[in-house]
């Protein structure tokens, strides 16, 4: 299927924000795209990110935290950066990838009680979900 798109979601550590967007894009697009996520560093999959996605019915527990260099050979159609740091240090991709950037606050930096921290994760999750829907509508549902 030659019209299947390759999408890379890029973040600093590939532990939270990029994983959330990866999960929602995969859910929204199914077989229409191959979704990858990576970081300019590798911090491991954040267990709270897994938990807030499970609350919304999306299982990302099988995801891994990957370094962007692992996907150097993939011809991406879209590179979506989800934090300013990743946008600033985003490597140049030798393809016609369309770059889009949206800075989401990092829920891993939330402080306070466990409930406060989880609420911050939920807030960012909901922002990422809305962004994913907007992206899919703009890039895949228009002619």
CA nearest neighbour of 132 among 33, 44, 29: 29
| Residue 90 known to be catalytic | yes
| Catalytic choice (10, 16, 83, 124) | 83
- Token pair for residue 119? 């609420």
| Catalytic choice (8, 10, 11, 124) | 11
| Catalytic choice (6, 56, 67, 90) | 90
| Residue 16 known to be catalytic | no
Report CA dihedral (106, 108, 111, 116) to the nearest 10 degrees.
90
CA nearest neighbour of 120 among 132, 104, 102: 104
| Residue 11 known to be catalytic | yes
Distance CA 98, CA 86 (A): 15
Active-site residue set: 11, 83, 90
């Amino acid at each position: 299927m030659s019209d299947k798109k390759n999408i890379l979601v890029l973040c600093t550590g590939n532990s939270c924000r990029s994983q959330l967007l990866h999960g929602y894009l995969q859910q929204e697009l199914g077989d229409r795209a191959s979704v990858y996520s990576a970081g300019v560093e590798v911090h491991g999959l954040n267990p709270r990110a897994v938990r807030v996605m499970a609350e919304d019915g999306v299982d990302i527990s099988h995801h891994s935290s990957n370094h962007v260099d692992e996907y150097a050979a993939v011809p991406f159609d879209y590179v979506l950066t989800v934090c300013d740091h990743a946008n600033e240090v985003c490597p140049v991709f030798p393809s016609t990838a369309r770059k889009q950037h949206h800075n989401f606050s990092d829920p891993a930096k939330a402080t306070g009680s466990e409930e406060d921290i989880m609420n911050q994760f939920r807030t960012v999750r909901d922002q990422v979900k809305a962004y994913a829907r907007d992206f899919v509508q703009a890039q895949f549902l228009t002619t």
